[in-house]
Amino acid sequence: MKYRLLTKEQFESLHQEFAIFLASQSIDVNEWAEIKTQKPEVALEEMKVFSDVVWEDVLTKAIYLEHFSETSANFFKCDADKIHRIAIKITWDINLLTQEGFEWLMKNPLDNSVEIFKGSKQYTAERNTEIFDLIEKGSIISNGEIFEYFQGFI
């Protein structure tokens, strides 16, 4: 398995897509019920393949990621061959995980207590694998507005 198994909630929300996936494998609803009870290892393999297909699609479409902690924020733009990062560190008592802290940062990006760093690097592994690793470490896929906002200050 390349990524990780989707969660139960993710499978439930992708129920229709999973049914289509099984149909593409020539597995109907009755056969699937039988596989789950009679051959759970085969069922798990089908779920793993489907999970990798979903992850690959999501990761291929992902361009921007964000990761926040109380005193720092990281914004990523994932191009085809390179990843760009804007790292922000707050040097005084502001909690970026609160609405108030986030709004303060957006209004005061040039404040002396805001340190902004920018960098780019080639992927050291496959693009989607690196994006997946960032997601597993707490990043979320975003629309890129915040990355582009701070890009304008650098």
- pLDDT tens, position by position, for the chain (154 residues)? 999 999 999 999 999 999 999 999 899 989 999 999 999 999 999 999 999 999 999 999 999 999 999 999 999 999 999 999 999 999 989 999 999 999 999 999 999 999 999 999 999 999 999 999 999 999 999 999 999 999 998 7
CA distances from 20 to 14, 17, 24, 70, 113 (A): 10, 5, 6, 42, 52
Three-state SS annotation for 92-149: CCCCCCCHHHHHHHHHCCCCCCEEEEEEEEECCCCHHHHHHHHHHCCCEEECCHHHHH
Question: Is 68 part of any domain?
Answer: yes
pTM above 0.85, yes or no: yes
Query: What pLDDT was estimated at residue 151?
Result: 94
Within a domain: residue 1? no
CA angle 41, 44, 50 (to 5 degrees): 145
Tokens 């085809």 locate to: 80
Residue 63's nearest CA partner among 121, 153, 127 is 127
Question: 12 is in which domain, residue-wise?
Answer: 8-61
As for how many domains the chain has, the answer is 2
68 and 128 in a common domain: yes
* Residue 29 sits in the same domain as residue 69: no
Answer whether residue 142 is part of any domain: yes
Whether 146 and 96 share a structural domain = yes
